[in-house]
Amino acid sequence: MSSVCPLDYRYGSEEMRSLLTREAVLRRLIDVEVALMRGLADARLAPKECVDVLRECAYGVRPEDVDEMEARTGHELASIATLIALRCGECGKYVHLGATSSDVIDTAWALILRDALNVLKRRLRAVIELLVSLSESFKDVVMVGRTHGRHALPITFGFKLANYAYELSRSYERLCSLTSRVVKGVVSGAVGTMAAWGDAGLRVESGCLRELGLEPHPISTQVAPRDGYAELAAFAAILASQLDRLALEVRELMRDEIGEVTLVEGVAGSSTMPHKVNPVAAERVSGLARLCRGLAVAAFENIALMHERDLTNSSCERVLLPHILLLTDQALLDTERVLRGLRIDEDAMKRNLSMSKDSVMAECLMVRLVLKGAVPRHEAHSLVREALSIARREGVSVEEALKRLGVGAPLTEEDFRACSEPENYLGSHAELVERALRSVRESLRRC
């Protein structure tokens, strides 16, 4: 049957997709059933040899076998447990003993997420390292800074990129932190008390999770706390939004009227216009970010389950978890592609900055008027604003306009020259870039 969901064939890497196929998820569910047998054997509730028996027989269960049995039983995990039991002879009678479906499902997803989050961590690190490298390369390349879409003050392109590197390093820290809360196993029985295993419950849990290399949630209901998946979804939404902001930056700076960056896409930009190079990958990042933000809402809704649990989260999470992981994976891949294809036009940056030279010098002149004791700050603000208006209207210099207003005298030729050269009005940009990049490197080092 043909695929319906674009995630099957269009978005997300094969590496990530391979963790989320039906076959891969089924294998993880079986991994947990085998590890549960280890826990039962350690607690002397099942023969020790059954662990090896299950390793030999359990993995023959196929998705189509599960579908066939589920059509009769109406329960996927019960069908998997039954199929393993039927394949494993005498040891089959101990399969899934005392466990509930959520023990197996939630623990299997902890295994999947452990691998998936490592993929995202590696991709995010690559994006951050690219930004660090670009920030260092363009630390002193002057351009106009924009607020509200209008020319504001000079900055450098490296300074701009250092901001993005720092923001994304915060998500890198979030990812490292949330992993310890989300990647945990659950082996606790029908309502979380381990009642079926008597006083051996903690031995069953220990043996099972040690086999899988997982730590347990200290306590649970029938399910692991759903705030973990909500935190994962919130992380993905925040990260996708940060990538969206970076993608939007690139798209804006690519506009023909601005032209400060271009992308080497290597593909046709338009189906009809040969001249166009469209920021396709950057636009895809922005589109996928909208989905990530929307999916986070569903994850929040899943926190509020009835009593020790209900089933409302189950169908939601079947869609939610693979989609969140694949969408985030694609957004990171596209961002890396954008950064590797970025080309900087320094001449365009100079040209655009020169368009607003008088405006860019305004704050500099205002500050110098105040520091030289000419007028208070609020008056200096009004006077410089008026001088700019006169200069534009009458075609005279700002220096001449200020003299007409009676406040130019305290300022020297050196003042006017210094304020007219954007590279002289970059403040502590170099130190700030270095401080930011040190912080970023520390974040990468810690995790």
Q: State yes or no: is 429 an active-site residue.
A: no
Q: State yes or no: is 381 an active-site residue.
A: no
Of the candidates 18, 270, 354, 382, the residue annotated as catalytic is 270
Of the candidates 3, 148, 275, 428, the residue annotated as catalytic is 148
HEC letters along 182-217: HCCECCCCCCCCCHHHHHHHHHHHHHHHHHHCCCEC
| Cα 342 to Cα 98: distance, rounded to the nearest angstrom | 57
| Cα 229 to Cα 303: distance, rounded to the nearest angstrom | 9
Tell me which residues are annotated as active site. Answer: 148, 270
